[in-house]
Amino acid sequence: MLVDMACHIAKVDHTDSNKEQLAMANTIWQSGVTHVLATASYPTDPAATGGDLVQAAEAFQEDLDRRGIALMVYPGQIIDLAQAISWDDLSQDILYVDLNQRYVLVKLNQEDPQRYFEPLLFEWLKHDIRPVLVQIEENQPLMRDIEQVYQWVDQGCYTALTAGNLLGRQGKQVKKQCHYLLEAGLAHLLGSFSTASDDYQLRQAFAALENRYGQSISFDIQQNARALINGDPLIDHFQIKKKKRFWFF
């Protein structure tokens, strides 16, 4: 069982799946992935409310089943804090990763990572909900304030890296930041975050992870993706051999 904990594969408008989506699903399945969290960004996409995403995932699953593509699709939502979201509004439209309502995916503001997040973090932690901060390796202000990441992880947050970034798709700097987060114990999950077949690299990223750090960490991060969708506790301390420390600035 190999889980992709974030992939932008399902359409939210309930229309029939197009050829590109089905081809991507087949690529994912052929790569060995068995389960996918089909994510959309809210409120960036106003249609990406919890109810809409559930319907979209169900419709897409029916299309896959009819075509014999043995890929399990789950509805997913990334809370994009590019703008302010009130707790009351979010409570109406949020879709948790798991049925236990334990985890929520969050993308921080790219200019001011703390902006809009701290008030929501207070509410989430008060309700025993654990935010998973996605793609933080691309957030340059946050990477210049790594102590803030430590604080959020100490408070109970988790983080998820992008497979393509670990392989250098966004350049050497972002790749180095991926490895820094891993070696500092500040990365817990790995997802594709892909939008098309030609950038789907989850299997390759896990292979690179295993090649650099050994089989154990690759297995544990894969296990975390399974735990995430099941609402189970995540592994937050990895036995990782540090090869060298990177300094960016």
Enumerate the β-bridge partners of residue 123: none
Residue 247 has pLDDT above 60, yes or no: no
Burial of 83 (0-12, 13-18, 19+ CB in 10 A): exposed
Residue 127 has pLDDT above 50, yes or no: yes
Amino acid 135: pLDDT: 98
| Structure confidence at residue 18 as a pLDDT band (50, 70, 90) | confident
Domain span at residue 35 reads 3-230
Amino acid 242: pLDDT: 59
Calpha distance 186→150 (Å, rounded): 7
Average pLDDT over residues 103-132: 96
Amino acid 9: pLDDT: 94
Amino acid 203: pLDDT: 97
3-state DSSP call for residue 37?
A: strand
Amino acid 243: pLDDT: 53
> End-to-end distance of the chain based on CA atoms, in angstroms?
39
Percent of the chain with pLDDT over 70: 94
Please indicate, yes or no, if residue 100 is contained in any of the structural domains: yes
184: left (phi over 0), alpha (psi -120 to 50) or beta: alpha
Please indicate, yes or no, if residue 138 is contained in any of the structural domains: yes
Amino acid 249: pLDDT: 46
Please indicate, yes or no, if residue 23 is contained in any of the structural domains: yes
Cα 67 to the chain's mean position, in Å?
Answer: 27
| Of residues 53 and 47, more confidently modeled | 53
Domain count, the chain: 1
Please indicate, yes or no, if residue 248 is contained in any of the structural domains: no
Q: Model-level pTM?
A: 0.94
Q: What is the CATH number of the domain that holds 30?
A: 3.20.20.140
Please indicate, yes or no, if residue 80 is contained in any of the structural domains: yes
| Structure confidence at residue 35 as a pLDDT band (50, 70, 90) | very high
Amino acid 15: pLDDT: 54
Name the phi and psi angles at 231, rounded to 5.
75, 25
| Structure confidence at residue 46 as a pLDDT band (50, 70, 90) | confident
Calpha distance 193→24 (Å, rounded): 13
| Structure confidence at residue 111 as a pLDDT band (50, 70, 90) | very high
Closest CA to 74 of 141, 5, 145, 120: 5
pLDDT in tens, 185-197: 999 999 999 999 9
Percent of the chain with pLDDT over 90: 86
Enumerate the β-bridge partners of residue 130: 103
Residues recorded for the chain: 249
Burial of 115 (0-12, 13-18, 19+ CB in 10 A): middle
The contacts found for 58-64 with CB under 8 angstroms, 24 or more apart, are 59/10, 59/14, 59/16, 59/17, 60/9, 60/10, 60/11, 60/17, 60/21, 60/25, 63/16, 63/17, 63/22, 64/22, 64/25
Please indicate, yes or no, if residue 213 is contained in any of the structural domains: yes
Residue 16 has pLDDT above 70, yes or no: no
Please indicate, yes or no, if residue 244 is contained in any of the structural domains: no
pLDDT in tens, 130-168: 999 999 999 999 999 999 999 999 999 999 999 999 999
| Of residues 12 and 132, more confidently modeled | 132
Calpha distance 105→50 (Å, rounded): 13
Please indicate, yes or no, if residue 246 is contained in any of the structural domains: no
